[in-house]
Structure 1
Amino acid sequence: MTGPESEGLQLRRAVCPGSFDPITNGHLDIIARASKLYDVVHVAVMINQSKKGLFTVEERMDLIRRVTAEYDNVVVESHHGLLVDFCKERDIPAIVKGLRAVSDFDYELQMAQMNNGLTGVETLFVPTNPTYSFLSSSLVKEVAAWGGDVSHLLPPVVHEALVARLREK
């Protein structure tokens, strides 16, 4: 092995979790910013069996890998279960979450406190770029399903995949 870990240096690791169904420019902005702060950023596609996604987990992971290819320190994985278990298994001490509004903070603060209480994992809140403050995957899918133009809200490859998937339905 070569690099910092072979020299006894501890890599700074963080995770950006989400369902990413599909990944938006807002998600990508948070991942890009985290990649500047940490040596390794794990993008965890969290699996929720009770939700039927538009894209399969594998398709989401492929799209994320494609749009994060320029960041050599981003690793894309999936996980079913508690996020803190994902962190524990990979020795990840920090979760990076984007906050769009005060309503996000109320929910995310509770999650952050629970996660910290369970395992000591810290959560870093990053304010969303104002350009994406209203953006969510659910809203993008709904607008696109009604024929609205969401091309400016998604990376081009993701927009193409979304349009193709909606055509299939």
Structure 2
Amino acid sequence: MGIIMNKKIALYPGTFDPVTYGHYDIIERALNLFDEVIVAVAISQDKKPMFSLKERIMMTEEAVKHLKNVRVVGFDILTIDLAHQYDAAVLIRGLRAVSDFEYELQLGYLNNSLDDTIETVYLMPKLKHAFISSSIVRNLLKFNGKTEHLLPKPVQKIIGSMTSCTLP
């Protein structure tokens, strides 16, 4: 009889408005550490996203569909509650620069205060992706700027197929 190991599930929550090469890089790195990565796309009405939840989920699913052990879900509950729902023992957060650190540290402490059995792991994207943020991409999209080097090809294709009247 073999020993049954607990599956290590990581939850990577975010707005993903849209999902970028930086996000994709974090997902790949997390897959090297965990058995399964759940990319959790937040509704995030407070952030007034450019893309609908449905569009962000679709873009993220397309970006990761060839990766094994990754699934994409939408959510509008506390991240800790979502982690419980999927038996995730770890929350993944990305750090690009020192400016991200203070916010992410506070968020990590908050989540720890809600459930100290769920760890937060901070991952950095490769240096070539460290400057990429969804807000930079959204700003470029507003002015029809070049984004091919910032977005996974399936995401770029989806955004390119949207008419300019759907982008603010």
**TM-score, normalised on structure 1?**
0.90
* Structure 1 residue 89 corresponds to structure 2 residue 56: no
Q: Distance in 2 between matches of 1:156 and 1:40?
A: 23
- Over the aligned positions, Cα root-mean-square deviation in angstroms equals 1.7
- TM-superposition CA deviations, 1:53-80 (whole Å, max 9, x none): 2222122112211111121100110110
Alpha carbons 1:63, 1:158 under 8 Å: kept: yes
Q: Secondary structure at the match of 1:88?
A: helix
Which of the pair has the greater relative contact order for Cα pairs under 8 Å at 6+ separation? 2
Q: Distance in 1 between matches of 2:102 and 2:47?
A: 23
Q: Distance in 2 between matches of 1:109 and 1:50?
A: 20
Q: Which residue of 2 aligns with 1:159?
A: 156
Structure 1 residue ranges (4+ consecutive) displaced by more than 6 angstroms after TM superposition = none
- TM-superposition CA deviations, 1:21-40 (whole Å, max 9, x none): 11000000000111121111
Please report how far the alpha carbon of residue 124 of structure 1 lies from its aligned counterpart in structure 2 after TM superposition: 0.5
Alpha carbons 2:21, 2:151 under 8 Å: kept: yes
* Aligned residues with identical type, % of pairs: 37
Unaligned 5+ runs, structure 2: none
- Normalized per residue, the structure richer in helix is 1
Q: Distance in 2 between matches of 1:106 and 1:25?
A: 23
Identify which of 3, 9, 15 aligns with 2:5: 9
Alpha carbons 1:99, 1:126 under 8 Å: kept: yes
Q: Which residue of 2 aligns with 1:52?
A: 48
**TM-score, normalised on structure 2?**
0.90
Alpha carbons 1:43, 1:75 under 8 Å: kept: yes
Q: Which residue of 2 aligns with 1:130?
A: 127
Q: Which residue of 1 aligns with 2:100?
A: 104
Q: Which residue of 2 aligns with 1:141?
A: 138
Q: What amino acid is the match of 1:119?
A: D
Please report how far the alpha carbon of residue 166 of structure 1 lies from its aligned counterpart in structure 2 after TM superposition: 5.7
Alpha carbons 1:145, 1:166 under 8 Å: kept: no
Q: Which residue of 1 aligns with 2:62?
A: 66
Q: Which residue of 1 aligns with 2:33?
A: 37
Count residues in correspondence: 164
Q: Distance in 1 between matches of 2:99 and 2:61?
A: 30
